[in-house]
Structure 1
Amino acid sequence: MTQKVVVVGAGVVGAACAFHAALAGMDVTVVDRGPVGGGTTSRGEGNVLLSDKQPGPELDLARLSRALWDEAAGELGPDTLEFEPKGGLVVASTAEGLAALRALAVRQEAAGVRAEPVDRVHDLEPHLAPGIPGGVHYPQDAQVQPVLAAAALLRAAVRHGARFHTGEVAAAVTGEDGGITGVRTAAGDLLPADAVVNAAGTWGGEVGRRLGAPVEVLPRRGFVLVTEPLPPLVRHKVYSADYVANVASSDAGLETSCVVEGTRGGTVLIGASRERVGFDTTMNPAVVTRLAAQACRLFPFLREVHMIRAYRGFRPYCPDHLPVVGPDPRVPGVVHACGHEGAGIGLAPGTGALVTAHLLGRPWRGADPAAHTGLLPDRFLTLGGASR
């Protein structure tokens, strides 16, 4: 009998889960209270990065995802995703910072990442500020347009038989053994399911609670600035070496580190900030000012460029800064796929393939559950079965 799967969340991670599950022959329903890609996905830059990850479970998932983004571009067409394998350039402002950056690159290379030390950074990015001592080029780094990518993956899932249902999941429906038999929406609709995938992004913690399997997924607010359209002056995704440290930081205060990249439409995106303020959506001019100043120090030509808008959103993170991907032992049939923080877009295809492998009980498209045990939700559980 065909396995019925309900995917909660129509962002890029949920769309990737639906795509892979439908491709594997499952009966898939995607449910979301809003439009496709309307949540955290619409607030992202489209990062597909290996360069910012330490060796370990997240980098392993990122390497799988990077290969699957290539496959998706081939199957769906690169233009439908605005997939750009542009590469990344990480630069250091001091000799000490450069030494630390290159030490990380050596460890990443040992884990299978292509990392190329660069002394003459202006050969790659002529408009960088003078005096930068060096950096590391990561040719595998890439970019997609997040909402287009989510929509393309979900359309492909629908072509393979998936359905989209608008609604808010209110509760799980379980059988006598406590296992999932479906979900009920706030409007009272019953969606039968053998398995439910929690791909609700920033709201993954709340959805997990409604399913009887809470996980600690918390919001971290971030801002991105957008310039007026320009000629192609920034060739790669360029960021300062302290970005890697900020990604892994648990500091509750404001952290900013410069990330600059061009888009196919000519605009330049400037990030990134991180702060733990709950779900406060307040515009903070001080954050915008700081990000703009850091970007101008990295690329002085930006001082003469107009900013046309700034947007903000919430990155869903777990306390150990790793996503939670896999079946929850407390409620048979619940599979989590959330907590990716700012890396969800890049990690989406690998997450979708890994979730599908868990559902199948065997490897799928290069994803082997036995190779990704560090992402399982049981790492958060106490002996009593409650989430920490």
Structure 2
Amino acid sequence: MTRTVTGDERGRTTARVGTAETRQGDAGRPDPASGTRRAGIRRALRIASRPEHWRRGPVLASSALLLGLIMLLHAEIPNRIGNVGSLVETLLPWFGLFIPVLLAASLRRRSASAVAALLLPLTVWLNLFGGLLGDKSQPGGDLTLVSHNVGADNPDPVGTARALAASGAQVLALEELTEQARGTYEKELAKAYPHHTVQGTVGLWSKLPLSDTRPVDIAQDVGPLADSKPVDVKLAYNRALRTTVATDQGPLAVYVAHLGSVRLNPRAGFWTESRDRNAQALGEAVAAERNERVVLLGDLNGTMDDRAFDAITSQLRSAQTAAGDGFGFSWPARFPVARIDQILVRGVQPRSSWVLPATGSDHLPVAARIS
């Protein structure tokens, strides 16, 4: 028996066949993005296979190797002239910006040797700072700490105090307190923090009881004359304190410090003499601390890559490095380029570390949660 095919059925069959052919055609058509990648790889292989491309760009290749060696051997750069070594270590993370610049120049010059040389600085930079690119924070923790250089020229100490109180920190360290602003901070923080101490230009506010509070002399000379300075001279301008915070898990020794400033000028270079003496004295004070659990909060006027802090970093570790998200730059507040405000710990576990929003200060507050 013969079946007559209607026009509608014939149209549907034709449509199905057309659709199948279209799909087959799409499947056979190359993906533009994939083709671009393959073309780029073939071009790179062609460049690498030509001897003249390896001879191009000797200056670029030398620059890439020099960049890698500076980062790799930064600890060997001497400080004898203008503290160049410390300056390089302070700016060390930013050396990574030269890598894409040199890469773009190398590709434009079609220099295979320069591209290959860039593997050295790239590997070194990732080894030094690659661990800071991800978020290492973890949930939980027993105590939230905040440290902030409130700024002697802060035009809004009331707003700064209220913002810090709203952070929810149990322990709050302030640096660069002036006599004029001290009363403002004491008044605004009194309700949230029933316990506090101010020693010179640094202070600590706490929701938990404090005990064994004393100033720490970090302005002392380091060397044979250290013991010859009168006590009243040593403590005339105090920039550090030590206290014990009574937590539910036991006593916690807390240090608050504001180390000396640094200067960069054509004559003296990177001037750090005062800060370096302070760092050495503070390291000695921490070394003498008997409590196993220690926290150091403060404006240290330097990054922890700087060799000047070896006496401190050999005993304490950075909460930002251990449990932060990114580099955590804190200064200057408008465009942070360095992490000079620190939360360093020993005998406790950092769970998270972050930077708080800007206040009226030229520094950003830094925070950490520990267990």
Question: TM-score, normalized by length of structure 1?
Answer: 0.26
The structure that is helix-richer by fraction is 2
Q: Which has the higher strand share?
A: 1
Q: Higher Cα Rg: structure 1 or 2? A: 2
TM-score by length of 2: 0.27
